[in-house]
Amino acid sequence: MNEPFVVGQLYSRNDLYRIIGVPGERQGGIWNTGYTIYNNDIFIFANINTAGSTGHNYDNKFIDDRLFQWFSKNNHSLKTPSIQKMINPSGNIYIFTRENIKSKFTYNGKGIVKEAHNQKPVKIIWKLNN
C-alpha cells in the first residue's frame, strides 16, 4: 500500500475505512479498540491525556517529535500475537493519536518499534517515520 495518509491531517475511523477500502461488514468492532490489523497493516489509535472508550487512561505521550511512548491493552504481553506482529511486522504500522475522545485522530506517521518492554500493559517506544 502506498502512503495513503498525510502526516498531521485529521482522520475519523470512517475516513480510514473509505481510504483503505474496508468493507462494511469489517467496519466497527475491533476498529473501535486501540489497535487493529487489516491486510497485514497495523493501525494504532492512541489517546493522549484522556481515557478511551474503555475508560482506560494510559500514559501514552510523545517523548519528542520522532519518538512516541504507547501502551497496549492491559491483558497483552510481548507473546501476544498482535504485539508480536508489531515487533516483527509484515506490513506498515500507522500511528494515529488524539487528545479528546470526541476528536478525530491525527496521523503521526509510520512507526517502527524502537523498544518493547515486557510489562502489563506492554510499553512500546515507537520511532515515527514522518
CA 130 to chain centre: 15
pLDDT in tens, 21-48: 999 898 888 888 789 999 999 999 999 9
How many Å apart are CA 81 and CA 102, to the nearest integer?
Answer: 30
Kindly give the residue spans of alpha helices, DSSP state H, lying in the chain. Answer: 13-20, 81-87
Of the candidates 46, 39, 48, 47, the residue with the CA atom closest to the CA atom of residue 17: 39
Q: Are 52 and 44 in contact (CB under 8 A)?
A: no
Show the CA angle centred on residue 27, arms to residues 45 and 33, nearest 5°.
Answer: 30
Task: Tell me whether residue 44 is exposed, middle or buried, using C-beta atoms within 10 angstroms of its C-beta: 0 to 12, 13 to 18, 19 or more.
Answer: buried
pLDDT in tens, 62-100: 999 999 999 998 889 999 999 999 999 999 999 999 998
Q: What are the residues facing 57 on neighbouring strands?
A: none
Higher pLDDT among residues 112 and 49, named by residue:
112
pTM of the model: 0.90
Of the candidates 65, 70, 11, the residue with the CA atom closest to the CA atom of residue 35: 70
Can you give the residue ranges of every domain in the chain? 10-59+81-112
pLDDT in tens, 43-54: 999 999 776 555
